Structure 1
Amino acid sequence: MQLYNKLSAEERAKLIDEAGKDRLTISFYQYFKIENPQIFRDKLFIEWNALDVLGRTYVSYEGINAQISVPAENFLALKEQLDSISFLKDIRLNVAVEQDNKSFLKLKVKVRKKIVADGLNDDTFDVTNKGVHLSAEEFNKMLEDPNTVCVDMRNHYESEIGHFKGAVTPDVDTFRDSLDIIEEDLKEHKEDKNLLMYCTGGIRCEKASAYYKHKGFKNVFQLEGGIIEYTRQVKSEGLENKFLGKNFVFDHRRAERISDDVISNCHQCGKPCDTHTNCANEGCHLLFIQCDECAEKMENTCSPECQEIIHLPFEEQKALRKGKHASNKIFKKGRSEKLKFQKSNS
C-alpha cells in the first residue's frame, strides 16, 4: 500500500500537462484533538492519493493544516471525503483567487508537533477562547474605526508585498516573534482599543486571538478566513477592497494579486516590483524580490557570487554545499547583506 509520494516534481508536472485538466488550489485548517495523528495521516494520504490530490498538509494532536490542489472534476469527491470526517464536516475551503495547475507537484502529509509553529505552551491558556470572527464587510467597518489597531500576523516577507491599509506590519521572521512584539507595543491599550488581526487564511489568528485574550486584551477581533476569504467576499458582494498589493502564498505561485497596487521594490535595483524568486544557486535558495530586468541580468540569482556558482559544473556546486544545512531550511527569507534595496537590513 502506497503511503508516500513516489514521483519527482518533474514527473508529476509532466503528468499534469498530459492530463490537460484544470486543478483547484485549496486551503483549510481545523483545530481538533486528534488521538492518533499517524493513523489519521495515513488514512488521508491513501484517500487523497486516489483523488489525485497534491500539496502539503500538517497533522498533529491539535488538528490539521492543509494547503492542497485537486483536479476540478474531483472537488466534490474531496468535499464528500472531508464531510465523512466528523470534525471536518462542512469545513470552509479557501479556494485560491488565482489558479495554477502546478501550484503543488507532490503530495506530502506530515505528522508534526503543531500545525503552526507558534512556540506557545497551549496548556497555559484556553486556546478555545478565541476572538470575534469578522466577515469582510465587518472587517472593513472596523478598519475605519479610529479606536482600532489593525495588526498583520504574518512575517515581513509576506506583508512587504501586500497588506491592509493602515495595518501594523511587524518586521519579524516568524509568527512567534510577532506575538511578544505586538503585546509590548500595545500594552497600554489592552482595554481601550480594538485589536484587529488578519493573516493568510485565518489559522495564525485562531491561536493568536486566544493568546491575546489570555494576556488581558479585552476587544480582540480576527478576519474570518483570512485574506483569501476576504477577497472572495469582496468580489462576490461588491465590497470595497482595502487590501493593497499581493497576498503571499506558500506554493509554487508564491503570491496572488489582490489589487493593482505595487507597494514593494526590487531588492537589487529598487524599482517598484512585487515578484518573489528563489536564488537559482541551490546552496543559497534565498527568497527575495526581483524584477524582470534584474532576473535576466543576474540569471535569477541574488548576487554576483551566486551567479558565478550556478555556472560551475554540477559536481563542484554539490561539493560547495557538502556539510551545510539544506539551503531551503535556512530561514533567511529577504534578509541578506547582498540585497541593496531590501526592506530591512536587520
Structure 2
Amino acid sequence: MQLYNTLSAKEREVLIEEAGKDRLTISFYKYAHIGNPEIFRNHLFINWDALEVLGRIYVAKEGINAQLSVPAENFEAFKTHLDTITFLENVRLNIAIEHDNKSFLKLKVKVRNQIVADGLNEGTFDVTNKGVHVDAEMFNQLIEDPDTVLVDMRNHYESEIGHFKNAITPDVDTFRDSLDIIEKDLADHKEDKKLVMYCTGGIRCEKASAYYKHKGFKQVYQLEGGIIEYTRQVGDKNLENKFLGKNFVFDHRRGERISDDVIANCHQCGNPCDTHVNCANEACHLLFIQCEECAKVMDNCCSDDCKEIHALPFEEQKELRKGKVVSNKIFKKGRSEVLKFKK
C-alpha cells in the first residue's frame, strides 16, 4: 500500500500542466485529541492521494494543520471525506484568494509533536479557554477603538510585506519568539486594554489567545479565519479593507495581493517591492525580497558569491554542496548580511 510520494516535484509539475485542470489552494486546522497520529496520518495519505491532493499537512496528538491543493473537480469529494472524520465535520476551510495550480507539488503528511511550533507547555494552562472569535466586521470596529491593542502574531518576513493599519508587528523569526515579547511589552495593559490578535489563517491565535488569558489578559480577541477569511468577508460584505499590502502564504505563491499598497522594499536596491523569492543557488536558498530588475542583474541570487556558484555547471554545484548543512541559513528569512536593504 502506497504511503509516500512516488513522483518528484518536477514530474508532478508536468502532470499538472498536461491535465490543464484548475486546482484550489486550501488551508484549515483543528485542535482535537488524536490517539494515534501515525494511523491517522496514513488514513489521510491513502484517501487524499486518491483525490490527487497535494500539500503540507502536520498531524499531532493535539490536532491537524493542513495547507493543500486539490483539483476543483474533486473538491466535493474531498469535503465529503473530511465530513466522515468526526472532529473535522464542517471544519472551516480557508480557500485562497489567488489560486495557483502549482502552489504545492507533493503530498506530505507528517507526524509532529505539535501542529504549530509554539514552545508552550500545554499542561500549564487550559488551551480550550480561548479568546473571543470575531468576524471581519467586528474586527474593523475593534481596531478603531482607542482602547484596543492590535497585534500581528506572524513573523517579521510575513508582516514586512503586509499587515493591518496600526498593528504591532514584532520583529521576530518564529511564533514562539513573539509570545513572551508581546506579554512583556503589554504587561501594563492586561486589564484596561482589548488585546486583538490576527495571523494568516487563525491557528497561531487559537493557542496564543488561551495563553494570554492564562497570563492575565482580561479582554482577548482573535480574528476568526485570519487574514484569508477576513479578505473574503470584506469582498462578500463590501466592508472597508484595513489590510495593507500582501498576505504571506506558505506555498509556492509566497503571497496573495490584498491591497494595492506596496509597503516593503527590495532587499538589494531599496526600491518599492513586496515579491519574496528564494536564492537560485540551491546551496543557499535564502528567502528575501527581490525586484524584477535586481533579479535580472543578480541572476535570481541574493549575492555575488551565490551568483558565481549558480553560474557553474550543475554537477560542480552538486559537488560544492556535498556534506554541507545550510538549514540555518535557509531559515534566516531575509536576515542575511549580504542584503543591503533588509528590514
TM-score (norm 1): 0.98
Q: Cα gap change, 1:230/1:242 in structure 2, threshold over 3 Å: closer, same or farther?
A: same
**Cα distance, 1:178 vs. partner?**
0.2
Alignment correspondent of 1:27: 27
Give the 3-state SS of the residue equivalent to 1:3 in structure 2: coil
Checking the alignment, whether the CA contact within 8 Å between 2:159 and 2:169 is kept in structure 1 is yes
Give the 3-state SS of the residue equivalent to 1:66 in structure 2: strand
- Pair 1:298-2:322 in alignment: no
Alignment correspondent of 1:96: 96
TM-score (norm 2): 0.99
Alignment correspondent of 1:115: 115
Give the 3-state SS of the residue equivalent to 1:138 in structure 2: helix
Whole-Å Cα distance in 2 between the matches of residues 251 and 324 of structure 1? 25
After TM superposition, the runs of 4+ consecutive aligned structure 1 residues lying more than 3 A away are: 326-330
Alignment correspondent of 2:267: 267
Whole-Å Cα distance in 2 between the matches of residues 281 and 342 of structure 1? 19
User: Which amino acid in the other structure matches residue 164 of structure 1?
Assistant: F
- Pair 1:147-2:147 in alignment: yes
Deviations 1:74-125 (A, max 9, x none): 1010110000000000000000000000100000000000000001111111
Q: Cα gap change, 1:278/1:101 in structure 2, threshold over 3 Å: closer, same or farther?
A: same
Deviations 1:45-81 (A, max 9, x none): 0000110100000000000000001010110101100
- Note the aligned Cα RMSD (angstroms): 0.9
Alignment correspondent of 2:220: 220
Give the 3-state SS of the residue equivalent to 2:209 in structure 1: helix
Alignment correspondent of 2:286: 286
Whole-Å Cα distance in 1 between the matches of residues 178 and 256 of structure 2? 23
**Cα distance, 1:313 vs. partner?**
2.4
Checking the alignment, whether the CA contact within 8 Å between 1:136 and 1:234 is kept in structure 2 is yes
Checking the alignment, whether the CA contact within 8 Å between 2:284 and 2:329 is kept in structure 1 is no
**Cα distance, 1:312 vs. partner?**
1.6
Give the 3-state SS of the residue equivalent to 2:277 in structure 1: strand
Give the 3-state SS of the residue equivalent to 1:180 in structure 2: helix
User: Which amino acid in the other structure matches residue 149 of structure 1?
Assistant: V
Whole-Å Cα distance in 1 between the matches of residues 95 and 103 of structure 2? 12
**Cα distance, 1:171 vs. partner?**
0.4
Checking the alignment, whether the CA contact within 8 Å between 2:198 and 2:226 is kept in structure 1 is yes
Alignment correspondent of 2:208: 208
**Cα distance, 1:314 vs. partner?**
2.3
Whole-Å Cα distance in 1 between the matches of residues 313 and 15 of structure 2? 30
Checking the alignment, whether the CA contact within 8 Å between 1:205 and 1:222 is kept in structure 2 is yes
Whole-Å Cα distance in 1 between the matches of residues 147 and 226 of structure 2? 21
Alignment correspondent of 2:178: 178
Range with bigger deviation, 232-241 or 318-327: 318-327
Whole-Å Cα distance in 2 between the matches of residues 69 and 329 of structure 1? 28
User: Which amino acid in the other structure matches residue 97 of structure 1?
Assistant: I
Alignment correspondent of 1:322: 322
Alignment correspondent of 1:87: 87
Deviations 1:283-334 (A, max 9, x none): 1110000000000110100010100011122232223222222448742001
Checking the alignment, whether the CA contact within 8 Å between 1:21 and 1:71 is kept in structure 2 is yes
**Cα distance, 1:188 vs. partner?**
0.4
Gaps of 5+ in 1: none
User: Which amino acid in the other structure matches residue 132 of structure 1?
Assistant: V
User: Which amino acid in the other structure matches residue 111 of structure 1?
Assistant: V
Checking the alignment, whether the CA contact within 8 Å between 1:283 and 1:327 is kept in structure 2 is no
Alignment correspondent of 1:49: 49
Equivalences, count: 343
User: Which amino acid in the other structure matches residue 171 of structure 1?
Assistant: D
Whole-Å Cα distance in 1 between the matches of residues 326 and 101 of structure 2? 27
Checking the alignment, whether the CA contact within 8 Å between 1:282 and 1:327 is kept in structure 2 is no
Q: Percent identity?
A: 78
